[in-house]
Amino acid sequence: MQFCDGRWVVSDYDDVRAVLADPVTFLPDNALTAVTPVAPAALRALVRARFSLPPTLANNGSASHAGLRRLVASFFTPARVAAAEPRIRSLVLERLGGSDLLRDLAWDLPAIVLMELLGLQNVDIPTLKRWSSGSLEFFWGNISRERQLELVDDVGDFHQWLIKRYHARDGELFCALMDAGVSAEDSAGLCYFLLIAGQETTTQLLSTALRRALQDRALWARLVEPGVAESFVEDVLRVATPVVTWRRLTAREVVLSGVRVPAGAELVLLLSGKESDPRHLAFGYGRHFCLGAGLARLEAAVVLRTVAEHEPTLRLVGGEPEWLQLLSFRAPRSVTVAR
């Protein structure tokens, strides 16, 4: 435990697990709160767009969470996820041959798979990616007021698009939400985070996993063997998860690792494991465990195995890439290769 920049950093595995397991003592209310306070001008733009993130999934500690989670989980059943494997492999094969495995393969593949799984058709994927990557930076970046104003219109446009699709019953997910009596505001808040987290973090996982795999030539050759890609994905999640931290608020004074932490303290939980520890919390724990964990694992394993099978001579080129560096997200912004 250490206190840094106004936040308590929790690094011990058992402490992090205990915090995630207790949503009464450790509230999820700040999970989606902007890391950089929203400047007045940007806030006014959000108000004009009627933007809101009501408690729905990641930031919901209320009784409504369980029902909303069950509804969304129905789109991520093991059977539905497993049925997506041929489509994932087909998308990989369509994208082989480029010089940047992030730009040419991993950038849009998870978004396409997610939209199909949620029954959302006619989605402009490049626009969705711009909205979602900008939203990650807006809410999890240490950014200037000027940068907030550059991003805020996309944040508002994304939210308005969700509201319009809800009222039009445009897609299986929105129909399910409306039929369950979920309001337009709650549906937009739920879908805002779901459509970002459900594909941006997988893009980050793919870029991280591909780069690490290509750094080990012996491993790259073995990825075609049964179970090797799956085991490697778990290693990446354990020691290099793209979701490096998550946040909680203390509802009362607590003691963690012998340190007394006051009520109302903001906790930053470190999710990566250690090289010598087989455990990890990359997908969280407890009632807020990531609903897309099975899909992310499948996508990563299928992508690695398929690329290694069809591109055995790939090698990394160039120096250290630029990295995405946000409070909760880390990943290389490019995976440049040659044959």
Q: Cα dihedral angle (245, 248, 253, 256), rounded to 10 degrees? A: -30
Kindly state the DSSP code that residue 65 receives in the 8-state scheme: H
Pick from 173, 209, 204: nearest CA to 191? 173
Strand order in the sheet with 266-270: 2-4, 7-10, 266-270, 245-250, 26-27
DSSP for 117-152, please give it. HTT--S--HHHHHHHHHHHHHHHHS---HHHHHHHH
Beta-carbon count within 10 A of 180 CB: 12
Q: How many CA atoms lie within 13 A of 259 on its CB side?
A: 14
Token pair, residue 51, equals 């933007």
The beta strand positions in the chain, using DSSP E, are 2-4, 7-10, 26-27, 245-250, 254-256, 259-261, 266-270, 315-316, 323-325, 330-332, 337-338
What are the tokens at 133?
């990557």
Please name the residues in contact with 46: beta carbons below 8 A apart, sequence gap of 6 or more.
38, 152, 155, 156
Question: What pLDDT is recorded for position 5?
Answer: 81
Give the contacts of 210 (CB within 8 A, at least 6 positions apart): 101, 102, 106, 303, 304, 307, 335
Taking the alpha carbons of 22, 260, 16, 64 in that order, is the dihedral positive or negative? positive
pLDDT score, position 61: 94
The identity of residue 148, as a single letter, is Q
pLDDT of residue 279: 87
Instruction: State the pLDDT at residue 297.
Output: 98
The confidence score (pLDDT) of residue 275 equals: 66
H or E element: which one contains 70? helix 64-73
Cβ atoms of residues 271 and 282 within 8 Å = yes
- Go through the chain and tell me how many residues it has: 339
- According to the model, what pLDDT value does residue 98 have? 95
Residues 6 or more apart from 167 whose CB is under 8 A from it?
184
171 neighbors 119 (Cβ within 8 angstroms): yes
Determine the pLDDT at residue 334.
97
Q: Between vectors from CA 101 to CA 95 and to CA 105, what angle results, nearest 5°?
A: 35
Nearest-angstrom CA–CA distance, 165 and 120: 9
Residue 232 DSSP code:
H
Report CA torsion sign: 294, 113, 220, 272.
negative
Scan for tokens 């408690």, then name that residue: 55
Cα distance between residue 324 and residue 318, in whole Å = 17
Which pLDDT score, from 0 to 100, does residue 278 have? 73
Per the listing, tokens 């004074």 go with: 253
In the prediction, which pLDDT does 276 show? 64
| 18 phi and psi angles, rounded to 5 deg | -65, -40
- 179's tokens: 């039929």
DSSP one-letter string for 259-296: EEE-TTPEEEEE----TT-----TT--GGG--TTHHHH
- pLDDT below 50 — which residues of the chain? none
